[in-house]
Homo-oligomer: A and B are copies of this chain.
Amino acid sequence: MKILVVGAVALGPKVACRVKRLVASAEITMIEKENRYSYGGCGIPYFVSGDVPNIEGLCSTSSHTVRDDVFFRKAKGITIQSSTEAVHIDRKAKKLTVRDLNSGRTTDMPYDKLVLATGATPVVPPIPGADLPGVSAVSNLEHAVNIKEKIAKGGVGKAVVIGGGAIGLEMAEALADMWEVDTTLVEMADQLLPQALGADMSLLVRNHMVSKGVRVQLGDTVTQIVGDPQTGVSAVQTKRSLIPCDMVILAVGVRPNSRLAAAAGLATGRYGGIVVDDTLRTTDPDIYAGGDCIEMVHMVSGERVPMPLGSLANRQGRIIGTNIAGGHARFEGTVGTFCIKVFDMSVAKAGLTVKQACAAGFEPVHSVVSQSDRAHFYPTHAIMHLKLIADRHTRRVLGVEAVGPNGDAVKARVDAVAALLPYQVDVSAISNLEVAYAPPFASAMDIVNNAANALDNIIMGYNTPIDVGAFVSDFNARKTRVLDVRGQSESKPFREKYGERWLNIPQSELAERWAELPKEEAMCLICDTGPRSYEAQLLLRAHGIANTKNIQGGYGMLSKSNPDF
């Protein structure tokens, strides 16, 4: 059995090794344009920052063997043809034409099974100057080495990162944190991580980045990158300002590399990714594809989307390998699980944001809970913010977002919910989700359970919530007063600042003092993190004071998302 694999970064090597393990006699060749293989591309920002001291760290196994062509030949029994580009598939003759990038010579290679692991290419926006030498996408190890060398030489005092997605944020941190480069991040949308977070949650990330010295320009568009004969670039011109800089990082997303497939008549989808079935076969039964070059089913929205992540590529690689070897493995789709470290803050999400859920035809409703990530009496506890989203009518859980300082703790909550997303579970499944409990790890009622309980209370009409963003806008427009049900000392600075607009009755006194309150006027209720203001809302409603809204996540969420308060 002759197997050709186009691409030798993530999915390609995984397929090749899996097939070779199951079918010792298989003849497998990987075709690769570059001279580096099987590297951890997702580690590039950590190489640039210095967390990973040298580039070999990204190209080695966990036992410190560099994954070069000798390694693949001797340890894996797999051939690599490097500096070689696949240029044409003759599906009828089952031949792949490849071109040697050094000699320019083309050769035809026969295959029984062909695997397309062609990856994705960074999008270069059509702006003047995007092709200047000081402008770099972060898409391969050579880029990474060049960026790091330039910085290490002291040649970069100021940098602009274009794009507020994962790679943009990671690169901004790498530049600002370790190298103290004066960094500005420009994002076209009015929030960071628009694919991953709702607006309120993303404000937490923006504020954290700003507190670490990164300038963040949201809702702004780059119109030109200005060249400089010395450093390559001298400035970035946006609609709002001219930002002087010595380096520009382009991180506005990637596009599936599907040209080879499309030219051979294989189907591609709405986003340009190769279409595959659940065995990861393309529309040609002898050609498989996976990783960044395909579109896959989003198991919550039902839409076919690209999802360029090394983790998915690896999981898919094993499935393709199994199927080529005669097995029956399936890839059902993605739930869009995602995580990122941003300085000392971690962010994770799975499923759909509220906006994405609306676009997919759901009627989303959500809760936001601020709570300790372990028992509140345990010394290392810290506040996590978690948002849970469900469909109002079916109560199906649609998504989860979490932000907090303890990264693994944030990941733990999101991963547990992510596991259930393909099973279309009711909110009550999260109320009773049996996550592990002991005081050093969780509260007896974990934040993920509480978020589901809050969401259930909202759906059932017990809890009438308002997001911090909507509250701030209503409060500033003088459409609502605040009833602060925390203690007197906590509310004092606010009463002094806002006078009659910021009322205070501690929750424990409310049963005796509710009659002091205006009966019809709009009031937003606030406490530390949400539970007491919910309790207050129920008590007031029982006494006929019903025009109240409970600020989701309480002061914990308000102060982190709107530090002016």
Contact = CB atoms under 8 A, between A and B. Distances in A.
Interface in A38-65: 40, 42-43, 46, 51-52, 57-58, 60-63, 65
Nearest to A460: B327
A334 interface: yes
A337 B535 contact: no
Interface stretch (A128-136, A256-264, A442-450): A442-450
Q: How many copies does the complex hold?
A: 2
A513 to B, nearest CB: 11
A444 B338 contact: no
A441 B315 contact: no
A339 interface: yes
A477 interface: no
B21 A538 contact: yes
Interface string A306-328: 00011111110011000000000
Q: Which of A432, A509, A542 has the most CB of B within 10 A?
A: A432
A93 interface: no
A435 B341 CA distance: 15
Contacts of A532: 63, 75
A43 B359 CA distance: 45
A311 B442 contact: yes
Contact of A437 (B311, B406, B408, B441): B311
A416 interface: yes
A257 to B, nearest CB: 19
Interface string A1-18: 000000000100010000
Contacts of A127: none
Contacts of A412: 408-409, 411-412, 415-416
A340 interface: yes
A77 B510 CA distance: 11
Interface residues of A, number: 106
A434 B335 contact: yes
A481 interface: no
Contact of A449 (B43, B315, B438): B315
Contact of A535 (B42, B75, B445): B75
Interface string A364-406: 0000000111011111000000000000000000000000001
B435 A418 contact: yes
A375 to B, nearest CB: 6
A179 interface: no
A282 to B, nearest CB: 20
Contacts of A538: 21, 24
Interface string A517-547: 0000000000111001011001100100000
B378 A434 contact: no
A63 B532 CA distance: 10
A486 B379 contact: no
Contacts of A341: 438, 440-441
A271 interface: no
A329 interface: yes
B444 A313 contact: yes
A190 to B, nearest CB: 24
A486 B407 contact: no
A376 B445 contact: no
Which 5 pairs from chain A and chain B are nearest by CB?
A408-B408, A311-B437, A339-B436, A412-B412, A24-B542
Given A314-B444, A416-B416, 13 more contacts: A21-B538, A22-B462, A43-B377, A51-B378, A51-B379, A61-B376, A62-B529, A75-B532, A311-B434, A311-B444, A314-B445, A334-B434, A337-B437
